[in-house]
Amino acid sequence: MKDFDAWNELKKKIETGPTGEPFFPQAGEVWMCAVGRNIGFEQNGGGKNFSRPVLVIKKFNNQMFWSVPLSTKQKQYDFYHNFTDPDGMDVSVILAQMRLTSIKRFKRRIYEIPGDLLNEMKIRLREFLS
């Protein structure tokens, strides 16, 4: 059984708590993000902070972003984009799970992907959406 109660308590703290030092994620950056405990096949966050890496696809302003979760499982589906991260790990972006994400969920920057790889992912995302 998924622990929704613990996630709900943390979510309340994230919403009302202090934001700390301001940071300004940019498209192409990978951040740890408190995505939470989700329903069905939606990607969950892990650990006590219910966090997982996400790729910022588009920045709307300093508060809202389109992001997609990353997974260490590479799959051959049209909604996965497999790549190797800067540490040499095989990862994938799950394009089908793009979502609007508040700055309050972002925890720390992990790395930035090269511009050509980001453009390739955006092309795949457009193809997937059409």
Gap between the Cα atoms of 87 and 110, Å rounded: 11
Answer for the pair 94, 71: CB distance below 8 angstroms, yes or no: yes
Q: Where are the beta strands (DSSP E) in the chain?
A: 29-34, 51-59, 64-71, 80-84, 90-94, 99-102, 106-112
Q: For residue 4, what is the DSSP state?
A: H
pLDDT given for residue 44 in this prediction: 66
Report in angstroms the alpha-carbon separations of 62 from 52, 73, 79, 101, 112. 20, 30, 27, 11, 18
pLDDT tens by residue, 46-79: 778 878 999 999 999 999 999 999 999 999 988 9
pLDDT given for residue 70 in this prediction: 96
pTM of the model: 0.88
pLDDT given for residue 22 in this prediction: 79
pLDDT tens by residue, 74-112: 999 889 999 999 999 999 999 999 999 999 999 999 999
Report whether pLDDT(42) > 70: no
Q: How confident is the model at residue 20 (pLDDT cuts 50, 70, 90)?
A: low
Domain topology for 4-129: SH3 type barrels. (2.30.30)
CB hemisphere CA count around 92 (13 angstroms): 19
**The residue to which tokens 């049209």 are assigned:** 78
pLDDT given for residue 90 in this prediction: 96
